[in-house]
Amino acid sequence: MWKEPPMANTPLWVLVVDDDAGARAALKQLLSAHGYEVALAADGVAALERIAERPPDAVVTDLDMPRMDGMELLREIKGKDRELPVIVATSATDARSAVEAMRAGAADYVTKPIDFDELVLAIGRAIEHRALRIENENLQRQVREQRGDGVHGLLGTSQAMQKVYRLARQVAASRATVLITGESGTGKGELARAVHALSPRKDRPFVSVHCAALAPTLLESELFGHERGAFTGADRRRIGRFEQAQGGTLFLDEIGDISLETQVKLLTVIQERKLQRVGGNDTVELDVRLVAATHRDLSADVAAGRFREDLYYRLNVVHVEMPPLRVRGSDILQLAEHFLRRFARDNQRQIEGFTEAAKARLRAYGWPGNVRELENAVERAVVLCEGSIIDDELLPRGTGGGAHGFDGIEIPGATMAEIEKYALLKTLESVDGSTVRAAEILDISVRTVQYRLHEYGIAKERRSGQSSGG
């Protein structure tokens, strides 16, 4: 059973979101008495600002609030951090809202008027479950790494990914800046986290900024922080992402999309290892490891005058290229099965795996959106699956446009076993399933054809063809 955090330890902290000032004050008094540090927000917008400054251990939110209600806040939080526990407070007569919140990812719900003991137990359970999930994922990651399947959140045994793993391990121990390039959705952010997790800074913060999502003026405040009164709306000092990452790693995603003006200021901070907040005069010394990523060709942007050459060389100390999913061969099925297990667990579904037809479609599809598209496709399939196994009808249609007319697999990227299976099944298809004629064409024995069919799990389907002599 969960136990309350002892007062002597560093307290866990909870963000309480409610537009009723009296309710906020009461919950703060209650949770403080149980050993929690408590922050308050009057609505979803203010809550997201507090979370950006410092992620809490749990969020307790009302549903009916101005500007941004509790459901929208829940979805925003889950879009940024799937593991952050959110407990929603609903009306005792509004069961539909409670069900909707749980489907959207809420860890638990309590009904109004709130039973304080029930709320404390709900928070404790949510935090404990999150810790157990993280511990379980860490154990699974250690097993995968011992098998050589991946490294710190990255999966795959393909040669392309083995090269990435080697570079990640080599660069992690250093302080060198890393530039990660690759198509959108290939896992550049996961690689950045892996580099941090493998480094001596692993127990310090990992802070991420999506540079393309913010206007230049907002990005500068986000990166460097600002002083109170620095601009309209700056009603208090804000610590920027560089300072938040002190002693740890700062990940600048989509670095190629920042303005030339911001590039100049970023270059100065990287060179001098210190900054001044926007609107301030005090100098802040920095000890931050920088990892940047982009889907753009920065060398071409340098040549076109869109990106500063000196900043490019500062960022490109160690370059790692993330391979697109279409060249990773058998990694596609490994990733798909990993996502299936996760989404089946999250949606409380008993789904065993994919049919052979579904596996063939997974391999054949080109995955222009890479790992992110595969993840979304598997989640959709899990949600829509009506049985215990996912068929090809629930997966994206189309082919990967592989070379040499191999419409079922990608070259480069496929393994020899996949190419062999493709050749055998295509040949059988062309001779109406006759194993004898297929064996003659492929210059192998009938016994080998039959063994391979049995290995593929489709021997019974070919039984009539096996008995045919021509």
Let me know whether 379 and 450 are in one domain. Answer: no
Q: Are 326 and 413 in contact (CB under 8 A)?
A: yes
The contacts of residue 175 (CB under 8 Å, 6+ apart) are: 289
Q: For position 430, which CATH number holds? A: 1.10.10
Same-domain pairing of 277 and 166: yes
Residue 188 and residue 236 share a domain? yes
CA–CA separation, 233 and 226 (whole Å): 11
Query: By three-state DSSP, how is residue 199 classified?
Result: coil
Q: Using an 8 Å Cβ cutoff, are 463 and 362 in contact?
A: no
**Are 315 and 332 part of one and the same domain?**
no
The whole-angstrom separation of Cα 58 and Cα 77 is: 11
Last residue of some domain: 295, 321, 347?
321
Q: Is the torsion defined by CA of 334, 339, 345, 350 positive or negative?
A: negative
pLDDT tens, position by position, for the chain (470 residues)? Answer: 333 443 334 568 899 999 999 999 999 999 998 888 899 999 999 999 888 777 788 999 999 898 888 999 998 888 877 788 999 998 867 778 888 888 888 988 998 888 888 899 999 888 888 777 665 655 555 444 444 444 556 778 787 888 888 888 889 888 899 999 999 999 999 999 999 999 999 889 999 999 988 888 788 888 988 888 777 777 777 888 999 999 999 999 999 999 999 999 999 999 999 998 888 888 889 999 999 999 999 999 999 999 999 999 999 999 999 999 888 887 899 899 999 999 999 888 889 899 998 998 898 888 889 999 999 999 999 999 999 999 989 998 764 434 334 455 656 566 777 788 888 888 877 776 778 878 877 878 888 888 787 777 664 444 444 444 44
Spatial distance between the Cα atoms of 145 and 134, rounded to a whole number of angstroms: 16
**What are the phi and psi torsion angles at 275 (to 5°)?**
-145, 165
- The answer to whether residue 3 is domain-embedded is no
State the amino acid at position 368 in one-letter form: P
Task: Report how far Cα 7 is from the mean position of its chain's Cα atoms.
Answer: 34
At 30, which amino acid appears? L
**What are the b/e assignments for 149-182, b being 16+ CB within 10 Å?**
bbbbbbbbbbebbeebbebbeebbeeeebbbbbb
Instruction: Indicate whether 351 and 451 sit together in one domain.
Output: no
Looking at residue 160, what is its pLDDT? 83
Report the candidate in 310, 313, 201, 301 with the shortest Cα–Cα distance to residue 251.
201
- pLDDT of res. 7: 37
For residue 409, give every residue at least 6 positions away whose Cβ sits within 8 Å of its Cβ, in sequence order, or none.
363, 364, 400, 402, 418, 419, 422
Q: Are 407 and 415 in contact (CB under 8 A)?
A: no
Give the separation between CA 186 and CA 182, rounded to whole angstroms: 7
378's tokens: 């598997």
Q: Which residues of 352-468 form beta strands (DSSP E)?
A: 353-354, 389-390
86 near 77, Cβ under 8 Å? yes
Tokens 């992620």, located at residue = 55
CATH number at residue 126: 3.40.50.2300
By residue range, what is the domain housing residue 84?
13-133
Whether 139 is in a domain gets the answer: no
Cα distance between residue 66 and residue 53, in whole Å: 21
pLDDT for res 423:
83
- 357 and 250, same structural domain? no
pTM for this predicted structure? 0.57
Phi, psi of 289, deg, nearest 5? -90, 130
| CA-based max dimension of the chain | 88
**Two structure tokens written together for 469:** 């002599």
pLDDT at position 421 is 82
Cis preceding-peptide flag for 396 (omega within 30 of 0): no
Which tokens hold the place of 132? 């157990």
Instruction: Report whether 185 contacts 369 (CB < 8 A).
Output: yes
Cβ partners under 8 Å of residue 151, min gap 6: 145, 165, 168, 169, 194, 198
What is the amino acid identity at position 325?
L
User: Is 430 inside any structural domain?
Assistant: yes
Taking the mean position of all CA atoms in its chain, how far away is CA 196? 15
CA distance 274 to 268: 8
With beta carbons less than 8 A apart as the criterion, state whether 462 and 436 touch.
no
Tally of structural domains, the chain: 4
Question: What is the predicted pLDDT for the residue at 414?
Answer: 66
pLDDT of residue 410: 58
Q: Is position 293 within any domain?
A: yes
How many CA atoms are closer than 13 Å to the CA of 271, on its beta-carbon side?
10
Give the Cα separation of 434 and 427 in Å (integer).
9
| CATH code of the domain covering residue 159 | 3.40.50.300
Q: Is residue 143 assigned to a domain?
A: no
Q: Is there a domain that residue 346 lies in?
A: yes
Domain shared by 334 and 444, yes or no: no
Q: Are 155 and 149 in contact (CB under 8 A)?
A: yes
Query: Are residues 312 and 352 located together in one domain of the fold?
Result: no
Same domain, 351 and 231: no
34 shares a domain with 20: yes
244 is a domain residue = yes
* 355 and 306 assigned to the same domain: no
